[in-house]
Amino acid sequence: MNATQIDTTYKAILRFVSASRLKPAFDRIKIMIDDLQYGEFSDRFNELERNYKFLLEYYLKGVQDPERKSVYSKLVAKLLILLADVREELMMKNSSNFEYSQKRFFPYTRKHQTVNELFNALQYFHKQSALLSENKEQYKIELSRMRSNFEDALDELFGVFWLATRYSEEENNLYKKLLEADDKYWVEKSLMVSAVTLNLWRKFDEQKIMLLFDSCENDDQKVVQRALVGLTFILAKYNIYLPYFPSIRNRLVLLVDQNRIAENFQNIIIQIIGTTETEKISRKLREEILPEMMKINPLLRDKMDAENFLNSDEWAEANPEWQEILDESGLSDKLKELSDLQLEGADVYMSTFSMLKNFTFFSQFSHWFLPFDTENSAVNQLFESDEKTILSAFVNSNVMCNSDKYSFCLSVLQMPESQRNMLKHSFKMESDQMDEMEEEMSILSPETITKNISKQYIQDLFRFFKLQPHKDDFEDMFSYSLTLHRTWLFDILSSIPGFSESVAEYYFSKGYYLQALELYEKIQSESQPSAALYQKMGYAYQQTSQLQKALDAYLKADMIQPDDGWTIRKIALCYRLLGNYEKALAFYQHADFLKPGQYSTQIHIAQCYFELGKFKDALAIYYKLDAENVDDIKVWRAIAKCNFFDGNLDKADYYSEKIILAEPNAYDYLLSGHISWCRRQLSAAADAYRKSLEMLQNKWEVFQDLFNEDKDRLISFGIREEELPLMMDALLYFENE
């Protein structure tokens, strides 16, 4: 099996397990094991399948076994562990993926035979450098050599915890030993947590997840936040596994039971959602949802309103009362806080620094996860003095993530020394300004500090998965950004009052309507829904082209809060788009009763009359609007069209000519052609049709669709049906004349 076949089979097995269809899951795992030909895996597989057959036999015999559910869950857990092990070994054998290539090569690059030797090397550096640093000038060369060895040891430490299939007892002890070490080991701890996270991203391992849980209880927030971010992604990826691993669920519940950790998780989830690139959502709207909307009803192309319907205020109008409701509920402040957490600034720095990841520094894989350290040999010459400069202030601020700080410093080091000194000294900030900045940093609340740490680490991960040269060999963590609300972790956090509502509001405010709906529907089923909730559900359904559901939600909002003008207009809109013009007319008339004389409401009432064939009623409104609104071409179009359908060619021609002399569009020329043809002015009709076709960029099928929608009306004016194809062919033959 090649890597693609292995992954395809692996994902298929997960789908079968998720659907509780173990027989096909067993069949496919056997195919993988047969390809691998490992006796240990065959033995584990045979035992599991045998036990499952026993369970099925007892079931068929009608044996009442109170332990059946527990036995089944444990069996599935073992099956998933076997699947993860088999996939890993197959990939090691067959994949040329960067990660597996590194895994095969890593043992030959290690400088320390055991992890104990590695720990001793790290310990030696900290002890000796502390002694020698008292006289830096005298021991400069020795300190530099020690630093180089230390950084090599850091790379090796990362490799050990990133690439190991299983952690040995010694490796587990090393992890715990470093985790309990003092603050001097902060870089080791941070790198170690990232390495375990990346290891888990490759392969599920219950024991390693427990190590991340242990890390969440560390005293160093840099370690805690990395572990929490890692857990958020890992638990999302392996969400299907969690029902079968109660120890993970129980540990998670205990962790979230700590208010501080629960708040951290909430902030991290919002920060991750915030990384979603807005242009991708916009592209989805343009390329998927709007074309689908165009299929729903020809009314969306209604020539009565030549303005693009989907750009109209009516479609996008939000309810101004929602902000008041948010303010009263207290959610407004929370939503503002959540919005502030969005990594919008990260996109700016992402583009700024994306070209600055080509330094050789980043060719060392672990450096993408390295916390910023001014003592790192790649940048330390910029910070040899204790002077307070713009440079030191900048890298010590929360403006940039760790990865970008290294990029920034490496860029500065490429400058000529004279320019570098100018940056460091000529623009030196006044001492009191520097002191003020340091004071501001020192008084930040613990909550703000943790948010900044998690934000920067998420940005580091974002850069790795978007910019690292081998990024395509890794599943993108951020592909889970908009699915976090479907996880066990989110369900546990949802027990916190207001959490689901806050995230739903955040989704809604950013235009992630499908995600908002998933949460709104859950909130609706678990609480007493308000009119505002149904209004927002209706709006979200509408924006995702689910018009019947939108209508149902708006009607429920109207039952709770009758006579709300915004809701009434939305109900009318949905009925109109669904083709129920009688109902649409009734609701538009009710909207007019609530707020008389509104231009848009009058237009839509007239439009409903038109669709119902009540042309004179429609014209009465249009003429009134024409008198009140000077040179309104939109009203002229409606009058021309309405008169044409009412059989009044003279009036239709009069308004059609006014439009042609003003700002004609493709449909205006089409209607002009219809009027000329009905008056038997065939050459003029053909000329008008050609101009319509030109304005449609000669898209013949689009022109034909528009033309055919009016052909019954043309026939009603006495044009014979056999003439229609003659006109079409004449246009094709003589289109350039």
pLDDT above 80: residue 268: yes
pLDDT above 80: residue 548: yes
> For 719-734, what is each residue's pLDDT tens digit?
999 999 999 999 988 7
> Is 62 a member of any domain?
yes
> Is 333 a member of any domain?
no
Helix spans in 510-614 (H): 513-526, 531-543, 547-560, 565-577, 581-594, 599-611
Cα(275)–Cα(270) distance, integer angstroms: 9
pLDDT at 296: 41
Q: Among 121-125, 165-169, 338-342, 490-494, where is mean pLDDT lowest? A: 338-342
pLDDT at 446: 82
> For 307-355, what is each residue's pLDDT tens digit?
333 345 566 777 776 666 656 655 555 545 544 544 443 445 666 677 7
| Residue 274 tokens, joined | 């915030």
- Mean pLDDT on 29-55: 96
pLDDT above 70: residue 442: no
pLDDT at 326: 57
> Is 524 a member of any domain?
no
- Mean pLDDT on 413-421: 79
User: Given pLDDT bands bounded at 50, 70 and 90, which one contains residue 495?
Assistant: confident
Q: What angle, rounded to 10 degrees, do the helices at 599-611 and 565-577 form?
A: 30
Average pLDDT of every residue of the chain: 88
> Is 233 a member of any domain?
no
> Is 117 a member of any domain?
no
> Is 603 a member of any domain?
no
- Mean pLDDT on 538-564: 97
Question: What percentage of the chain has pLDDT greater than the value 90?
Answer: 72
pLDDT at 424: 61
Q: Of 60, 95, 130, which residue is a domain's last? A: 95
- Structural domain boundaries, residue 38: 3-95
> Is 725 a member of any domain?
yes
pLDDT above 80: residue 702: yes
Q: Of 46, 65, 95, which residue is a domain's last? A: 95
> For 557-606, what is each residue's pLDDT tens digit?
999 999 999 999 999 999 999 999 999 999 999 999 999 999 999 999 99
> For 114-155, what is each residue's pLDDT tens digit?
999 999 999 999 999 888 877 877 888 898 999 999 999 999
pLDDT at 730: 92
pLDDT at 329: 58
135 or 64, which is more confident: 64
pLDDT at 140: 85
Is residue 477 within 8 A of residue 201, CB to CB? The reply is yes
> For 52-61, what is each residue's pLDDT tens digit?
999 999 999 9
Sequence-distant (≥ 6) Cβ neighbours of residue 250 within 8 angstroms: none
pLDDT at 412: 85
Cα(389)–Cα(514) distance, integer angstroms: 48
pLDDT at 425: 58
Provide the domain count of the chain: 2
| Residue 272 tokens, joined | 């991750």
Query: DSSP letters along 257-313, please?
Result: TSHHHHHHHHHHHHHHHHTS-HHHHHHHIIIIIHHHHHHH-GGGG-TT--S-GGGSH
> Is 599 a member of any domain?
no
Q: Of 95, 127, 161, which residue is a domain's last? A: 95
Furthest-apart CA pair in the chain: how many Å? 107
| Single pTM value for the model | 0.84
pLDDT above 90: residue 508: yes
pLDDT above 90: residue 435: no
